Amino acid sequence: MTLLVRPDGRWRALPALLIIALVVAGVTMIGRSLGTAPPFVPAGSGFSGITGNFMTGASAPVRVVISAIGVDAPVERVDVDEDGMLQPPALSEAGQVGWYRRGPTPGERGNAVLVGHVDTAATGPAVFYELGRLKPGDEVTVDRQDGSAATFRVDAVQLYDKTAFPAGQVYGPAGGARLQLVTCGGTFDRQREGYLGNTVVTASLVTSSG
């Protein structure tokens, strides 16, 4: 069953008890693209004094670099539509990455979410075409609006069926500063004109400079 979060905060299409159990989870289909429908998760920031679990202040991302797969792309702000479905960058901007603007910024406590297309019918491979090739230990650097750069190390790379999207992991609370990179993946269903899965890369903040 699909879980949607509307802009006014109302939930639909799930029993009330299940909504309470999931708390901040959300999953849906976004047309031919990403399978994510986030709730609003307030961001927090600060410094814990523990290496590998420190956080930075808020600052919007402007560029993401993933050397291991040749990504060096601008970041734009994205949001949910009137049905509560997260919208990635337009297909005409398939070389750009989208940051879910209602969540934490990369480097703050919590899960900062970056989304991008895997490919398009018009242009072929898109910005996150090689996302599934990342391995634990690979680094992701996010340049931020305040001139700082936050570097994350990949913890896990997983492929999920869209019906089993790990919304709690991607959008739920996190004890440290985490980065969630999401794109489509798995088998392409020609009848539905969309992918049946999502590739999710989870990374943790390791350094911040600037």
Does position 8 have pLDDT exceeding 50, yes or no?
Answer: no
Region 6-32: what's the mean pLDDT? 33
Higher local confidence (pLDDT), 25 or 150: 150
3-state secondary structure of 189: strand
What's the pLDDT score for residue 37? 53
Q: Which letter does DSSP use for residue 39 in this model?
A: P
Q: How high does pLDDT run on average in the chain?
A: 80
Q: How is residue 82 written in tokens?
A: 């009137």
Q: For the stretch 126-144, what's the b/e string if a residue is b when 16 or more beta carbons lie within 10 angstroms of its beta carbon?
A: bbbbbbbebeeebbbbbbb
What's the pLDDT score for residue 181? 98
Domain ranges for the chain, please list them.
4-209
What's the pLDDT score for residue 79? 93
In the chain, % of residues over pLDDT 70: 74
What's the pLDDT score for residue 26? 32
Region 167-193: what's the mean pLDDT? 91
Does position 4 have pLDDT exceeding 70, yes or no?
Answer: no
Virtual CA dihedral for 143, 144, 148, 150, nearest 10 degrees?
Answer: -60
Per-residue pLDDT tens for 76-124? Answer: 999 988 887 788 999 999 999 999 999 999 999 999 999 999 999 898 9
In the chain, % of residues over pLDDT 90: 61
Best-predicted range by mean pLDDT among 46-60, 76-90, 166-180? 166-180
Q: How is residue 90 written in tokens?
A: 């337009």
Options 3.40.50.880, 3.50.50.60, 2.40.260.10, 3.40.50.1370; CATH of 4-209: 2.40.260.10
Q: Which of 16, 179, 12 is nearest to 82 (CA)?
A: 12
Output the DSSP codes for 137-169: T-EEEEEETTS-EEEEEEEEEEEEEGGG--HHH
Q: What does the alpha-carbon distance between residue 116 and residue 97 come to, in Å, rounded to a whole number?
A: 5
